[in-house]
Amino acid sequence: MPFFKRKPGKTDEPEFIKRADVKCKRINVNYLPPDELLPQMATDKLAAGRLTPVNYYATKLRFIEAFVYYLPDYSQAMIRYTFYVNEKPEKTSDFFELSYDSLSMLLAKIGMYIDK
């Protein structure tokens, strides 16, 4: 099986993600169908804060893995979702901007309390 390298400049990641000071936090949350969650994220700024974190081992069959990218001072944040069904990736979303309120609500649910 041949391996293919990515061509430079062909990534779909925003420039924000490529910065050296950006941190990433991976959070597993309860499953919502992609056609239900993604329109909410496009219209509602606080939709990410309403998701409920779950233990991966408790819900391996259906869950969403959220990758939260943020600056150390929390001034800018983005999120990307990967939807899993039967432990296999079903769909990956685009990147969404996160407001400070939504980021603080989501991180507080996993025990990271932030101050501005």
Domain spans, the chain: 15-108
CA 81 from chain centre, in angstroms, equals 4
Q: Which of 44, 36, 43, 89 is nearest to 67 (CA)?
A: 89
Tokens 């400070």 -> residue: 100
pLDDT of residue 66 exceeding 60, the answer is: yes
Residue 113 Cα distances to 35, 95, 105, angstroms:
30, 23, 9
pLDDT band at residue 60, thresholds of 50, 70 and 90?
confident
Give the pLDDT score at 14. 86
| pTM, two decimal places | 0.83
Give the pLDDT score at 45. 79
Among the ranges given (8-22, 38-52, 58-72, 89-103), the one the predictor scored with the smallest mean pLDDT: 8-22
DSSP-assigned letter for residue 104: H
